[in-house]
């Protein structure tokens, strides 16, 4: 690409010598000035530059029909863990939604195999998302649309390479190589052509330490949440569905006293009646959400912008597995109605989806006061903290007891859930000792803080890489040995 002249930045006019033309790409997009300038910046940064194919020892990915059929999926914690596109999150493996596959499938298919320290890349649709397989995961299987690369440690560390691949300097390269319109794709051949800077081992270690610390924080947060889940499971038990009572398990006989405003058969499915019965059998006080909450609403969708603002409109896309991820481009630019401003400890979940099973699947708690406004596709409840522990209610709504009751409220040809139905959800009022209340509160809040710090460290590492390439990296910080700076 040395024989290239950029003629007009605004119109992206490029003059190419024939030697600078890639014989496989003659489309104008490939030679846009943003890609040309990106490559120039990389090459003038002063580091050794190598194609990715020269700094890895292995690359593989399942292609087309190959891989793992959905019929072979196992619950989380059983078999070999399986990473899918949705698990490639925030530059790290999202373990909360991992499922499994039988080990023989992993052993028989080299194309799906990955191991500790490998880097996983999404190559179809949302291309260029990357994560690193943590050191404590010895084996993991890959689903479709993912590629695995194993680094050659003589040149580069997996932590540094992961961060570089998420930086704008690598993302622009992936955008350049992508082909296809509606669903852009990368080939493994393209991925091997990505240009990678090779800085000193001191620099790689400094940036890599931040990545490792971020991974540790995510794992610590996950352990805290699992402890909170175990506490609730101990208190509530698990739902027991006695299928022997009904051969088809969907038919049920109900008395007139059980009939409410809903007359559709799905609402009276035996599964939901059984949950109601199980709750009432606990011989403890039971209240409805309406009785223990000061607010139950579906939100409001506002005009938003990427300008700084106090309020964020949170839609289904911003719901995480436990906590929301505020979108900085969704700051509200309108005057807000105070009715929709959520207080600290409010609990939210999606109320609309193309498939009913996704409604209530992700229940989040708001741990920052009155900055979040849910959109119309999100339901919010505000616990009355004088009547119920908000962290217990949060964990209850996340449990199978809460999820199945949310599912019962879903109705319509396009699946929706509404406050008038949500308000009737039954909540057992269990006894929690002061110590148990503190465990719930501390574990949830501390796990949130650890997750947030993990994200900060990842963003710092990304900024370090970009500063490095732009000549703005402060070499003196390599002497800072503090844990959090690493």
Residue ranges of the chain with per-residue pLDDT less than 70: 1-27, 64-66, 240-261, 263-265, 480-486
CA 40, chain centre distance (Å)? 33
Residue 254 sits at φ, ψ, to 5 deg, of: -130, 150
Which residue blocks in 64-141 are alpha helix, DSSP H? 103-108
Residue 416 sits at φ, ψ, to 5 deg, of: -140, 160
Asked whether the beta carbons of 121 and 60 are under 8 A apart, the reply is: no
Using CA atoms, how far apart are residues 292 and 396, in angstroms rounded to an integer? 13
Which pLDDT does position 71 carry in this prediction? 80
Which pLDDT does position 250 carry in this prediction? 54
How many Cα atoms within 13 Å fall on the side-chain side of residue 19?
Answer: 5
Strands 92-93 and 88-89: antiparallel
Asked whether the beta carbons of 318 and 330 are under 8 A apart, the reply is: yes
Whole-angstrom Cα Rg for the chain: 26
What single DSSP character describes residue 220?
H
Spell out the residues 6+ positions from residue 267 whose beta carbon is closer than 8 angstroms to its own.
260, 408, 411
Residue 420 sits at φ, ψ, to 5 deg, of: -65, -30
CB atoms within 10 A of CB 76: 13
Mean pLDDT of the chain: 86
* 410-448 pLDDT, tens digit each: 988 788 999 999 999 999 999 999 999 999 999 999 999
Distances (CA, A) of 118 to 57, 132, 164, 173, 275: 10, 6, 14, 20, 44
Tokens describing residue 395: 């964990």
CATH class of the domain at 49-198: alpha beta
Using CA atoms, how far apart are residues 25 and 14, in angstroms rounded to an integer? 15
> Topology of 223-432 in CATH?
Adenine-n6-DNA-methyltransferase TaqI; Chain A, domain 2 (3.90.220)
Every domain of the chain and the residues it spans: 49-198, 223-432
Total residues found in the chain within this entry: 486
Domain 49-198 and domain 223-432 have a common topology? yes
Helix, strand, coil shares of the chain, percent, nearest 5, are 40, 20, 40
Spell out the residues 6+ positions from residue 359 whose beta carbon is closer than 8 angstroms to its own.
349, 350, 351, 352, 353, 406, 407, 410, 415, 416, 417
Which pLDDT does position 113 carry in this prediction? 93
């Amino acid at each position: 690409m040395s024989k290239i002249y950029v003629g007009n930045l605004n119109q992206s006019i490029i003059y190419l010598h024939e030697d600078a033309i890639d014989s496989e790409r003659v489309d104008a997009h490939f030679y846009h000035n943003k890609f040309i300038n990106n490559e120039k910046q990389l090459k003038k940064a002063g580091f050794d530059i190598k194609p990715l194919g020269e700094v890895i020892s292995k690359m593989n990915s399942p292609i087309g029909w190959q891989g793992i059929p959905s019929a072979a999926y196992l619950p989380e914690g059983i078999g070999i863990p399986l990473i899918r596109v949705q698990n490639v999150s925030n530059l790290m493996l999202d373990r909360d939604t991992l499922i499994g596959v039988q080990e023989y499938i992993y052993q028989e298919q080299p194309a799906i195999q990955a191991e500790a320290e490998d880097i996983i890349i999404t190559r179809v649709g949302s291309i260029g998302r990357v994560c690193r397989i943590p050191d404590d995961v010895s084996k993991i299987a890959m689903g479709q649309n993912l590629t695995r690369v194993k680094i050659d440690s003589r040149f580069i560390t997996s932590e540094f390479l992961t961060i570089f691949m998420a930086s704008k300097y690598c993302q622009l390269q992936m955008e350049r190589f992508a082909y296809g319109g509606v669903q852009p794709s990368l080939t493994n051949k393209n991925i091997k052509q990505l240009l990678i800077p090779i800085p000193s081992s001191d620099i790689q270690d400094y940036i890599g330490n931040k990545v490792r610390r971020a991974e540790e924080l995510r794992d610590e947060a996950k352990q805290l949440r699992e402890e909170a889940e175990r506490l609730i499971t101990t208190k509530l038990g698990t739902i027991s569905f006695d299928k022997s009572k009904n051969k088809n398990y969907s038919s049920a006989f109900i008395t007139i006293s059980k009939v409410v405003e809903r007359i559709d058969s799905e609402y009276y499915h035996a599964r939901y009646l059984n949950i109601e019965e199980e709750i009432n059998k606990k011989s403890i006080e039971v209240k409805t959400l309406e009785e223990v909450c000061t607010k139950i609403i579906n939100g409001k969708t506002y005009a938003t912008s990427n300008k700084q603002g106090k309020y964020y409109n949170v839609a289904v896309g911003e719901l995480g597995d436990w906590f929301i991820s505020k979108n900085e481009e969704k700051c509200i630019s309108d005057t807000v109605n105070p009715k929709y401003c959520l207080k600290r400890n409010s609990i939210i979940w999606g109320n609309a989806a193309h498939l009913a099973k996704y409604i209530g699947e992700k229940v989040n708690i708001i741990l920052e006061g009155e900055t979040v406004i849910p959109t119309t596709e999100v339901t919010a409840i505000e616990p009355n903290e004088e009547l119920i522990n908000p962290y217990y209610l949060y964990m209850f709504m996340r449990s199978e007891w809460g999820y199945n009751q949310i599912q019962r409220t879903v109705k319509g040809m396009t699946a929706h859930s509404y406050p008038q139905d949500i308000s009737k959800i039954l909540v057992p009022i269990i006894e929690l000792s002061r110590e148990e209340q503190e465990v719930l509160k501390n574990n949830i809040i501390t796990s949130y803080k650890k997750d947030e710090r993990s994200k900060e460290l990842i963003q710092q590492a990304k900024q370090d890489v970009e500063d490095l390439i732009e000549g703005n990296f402060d070499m003196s910080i390599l002497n800072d040995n503090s844990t959090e700076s690493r």
